[in-house]
């Protein structure tokens, strides 16, 4: 089947492709949106905490302002260490799991100098601390705070490292570990939003599937309405529906009629007549198949209308195709029973320039006149309509 249904299939496919692309785009956008929201929520929810921690760090540096060697003084002065640990202890909340101060020894190993944790989790003075990333060393180079996002550690989400400077050199690291609870709270908000968006997309997809199914159903019904059940070519309804859609400038219009079809029906019965009609339509369609833009319509009874697409490179294409149809039908043996076959012929009238007429039906009338001439010229021939006279092909 060509033209109308072919185009509607193409439109459906295009529609589905565009919608699928849009859905994929929205899905990726959701992911990106999630990341943006996550970053913003993190920023908003940690900014105050980080400011407080930074202020504590400044306060600690102030406490150590008279010290020439932070590490030695804290190691040797128990009271100073206790004071620092009290300040660190204040920072520990539901969301901040650990607050501690580290130093790097001569061998480059990190060790605890003060710990705000309670007795159970409290690290010993000078206890070795294995860091989990090289980023910790970068603080000594950058001399700036750094925020580490943990993905592997089971109970920690973020680590905030603040360098404590002495003579513009990093002497100590103040470290804050955020518990997972902080991230879990933020993530629960994000997941809620993300699930909402995905839910809307799923509902949209569901509705879309229903629309597509309805479209397919509608097309199927429409196709049934426009296809002749016996011959499987278009019927008169199709012609009526698309009379304004067929651009007559691009086609020649031919009318084909089976010769002596009434005799066939009268002699062999209507079932044989149906076989002849079916086979004739098949031969016409198969002959036209070289060009997908051609249209065959069973106009009524044993009469078919054929629209053959014109070719600029090959002006005689319509006549050549019609000649092939004429020959193929004439040479075909129509099997009407297991043992018997008959031969039939067709007559064809063609209007090479239907666009010269006011409308399709006027153009059809002219082709029909040529057909009438063909019938009167002994049948099994093609007549071309030309103004005031017909030309035999």
Instruction: Tell me which residues are annotated as active site.
Output: 302
Q: How many CB atoms lie within 10 A of CB 22?
A: 13
Report the helix count and the strand count for the chain, using DSSP H and E.
10, 13
**Which residue, 128 or 249, has its beta carbon nearer to other proteins?**
128
Q: Which residue in this structure is represented by tokens 């076959």? A: 341
**Which residue, 194 or 377, has its beta carbon nearer to other proteins?**
194
Rounded to a whole number of angstroms, the minimum distance from the CB of residue 158 to other proteins is 12
β partners of residue 166: 169
Rounded to a whole number of angstroms, the minimum distance from the CB of residue 24 to other proteins is 20
CB 57 within 8 Å of CB 144? no
β partners of residue 251: 309
Query: Which residues are near other proteins by CB under 8 A?
Result: 97-98, 100, 109, 121, 123-124, 127-132, 153-156, 175, 177
**Which residue, 115 or 259, has its beta carbon nearer to other proteins?**
115
Vertex 300: Cα angle to 295 and 303 (nearest 5): 65
Q: How many Å apart are CA 232 and CA 145, to the nearest integer?
A: 78
Q: How many Å apart are CA 228 and CA 254, to the nearest integer?
A: 18
The secondary structure of the chain in percent helix, strand, coil, rounded to multiples of 5, reads: 55, 20, 25
Helix, strand, or coil (residue 76): helix
Rounded to a whole number of angstroms, the minimum distance from the CB of residue 15 to other proteins is 24
Rounded to a whole number of angstroms, the minimum distance from the CB of residue 96 to other proteins is 12
Rounded to a whole number of angstroms, the minimum distance from the CB of residue 256 to other proteins is 49
How far, in Å, are 198, 215, 348 from residue 259 at the CA level?
A: 65, 41, 10
Concatenated DSSP letters of 323-362: HHHHHHHHH--EE-SSS-EE---EEEEEES-GGGSSSHHH
Rounded to a whole number of angstroms, the minimum distance from the CB of residue 169 to other proteins is 24
SS (H, E, C) 196-230: HHHHHHHHHHHHHHHHHHHHHHHHHHHHHHHECCC
**Which residue, 106 or 168, has its beta carbon nearer to other proteins?**
106
Rounded to a whole number of angstroms, the minimum distance from the CB of residue 130 to other proteins is 5
Half-sphere exposure of 80 (CA within 13 A, CB side): 18
CB 293 within 8 Å of CB 3? yes
């Amino acid at each position: 089947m060509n033209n109308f249904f072919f185009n509607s299939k193409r439109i459906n496919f295009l529609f589905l492709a565009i919608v699928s692309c849009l859905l994929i785009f929205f899905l990726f956008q959701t992911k990106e949106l999630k990341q943006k929201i996550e970053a913003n929520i993190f920023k908003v929810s940690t900014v105050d905490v980080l400011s407080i921690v930074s202020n504590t760090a400044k306060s600690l540096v102030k406490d150590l302002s008279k010290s020439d060697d932070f590490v030695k003084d804290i190691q040797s002065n128990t009271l100073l260490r206790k004071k620092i640990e009290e300040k660190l202890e204040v920072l520990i909340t539901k969301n901040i799991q650990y607050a501690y101060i580290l130093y790097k020894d001569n061998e480059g190993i990190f060790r605890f100098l003060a710990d705000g944790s309670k007795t159970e989790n409290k690290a010993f003075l000078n206890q070795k601390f294995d860091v989990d990333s090289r980023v910790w060393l970068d603080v000594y180079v950058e001399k700036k705070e750094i925020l580490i996002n943990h993905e592997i550690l089971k109970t920690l989400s973020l680590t905030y490292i603040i360098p404590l400077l002495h003579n513009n050199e990093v002497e100590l690291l103040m470290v804050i570990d955020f518990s997972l609870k902080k991230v879990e709270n933020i993530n629960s908000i994000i997941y809620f939003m993300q699930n909402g968006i995905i839910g809307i997309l799923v509902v949209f997809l569901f509705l879309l599937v229903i629309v597509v199914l309805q479209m397919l159903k509608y097309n199927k019904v429409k196709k049934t309405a426009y296809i002749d059940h016996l011959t499987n070519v278009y019927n008169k309804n199709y012609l009526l529906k698309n009379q304004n859609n067929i651009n007559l400038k691009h086609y020649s219009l031919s009318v084909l009629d089976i010769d002596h079809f009434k005799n066939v029906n009268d002699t062999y019965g209507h079932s044989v007549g149906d076989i002849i009609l079916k086979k004739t339509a098949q031969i016409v369609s198969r002959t036209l198949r070289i060009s997908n833009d051609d249209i065959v319509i069973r106009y009524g009874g044993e009469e078919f209308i054929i629209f053959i697409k014109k070719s600029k490179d090959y002006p005689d294409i319509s006549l050549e195709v019609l000649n092939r149809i004429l020959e193929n039908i004439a040479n075909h043996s129509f099997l009407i029973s297991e043992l018997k076959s008959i031969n039939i012929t067709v007559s064809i009238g063609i209007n090479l320039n239907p666009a010269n007429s006011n409308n399709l039906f006027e153009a059809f009338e002219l082709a029909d006149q040529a057909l009438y001439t063909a019938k009167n010229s002994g049948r099994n021939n093609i007549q071309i309509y030309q103004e005031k006279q017909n030309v035999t092909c």
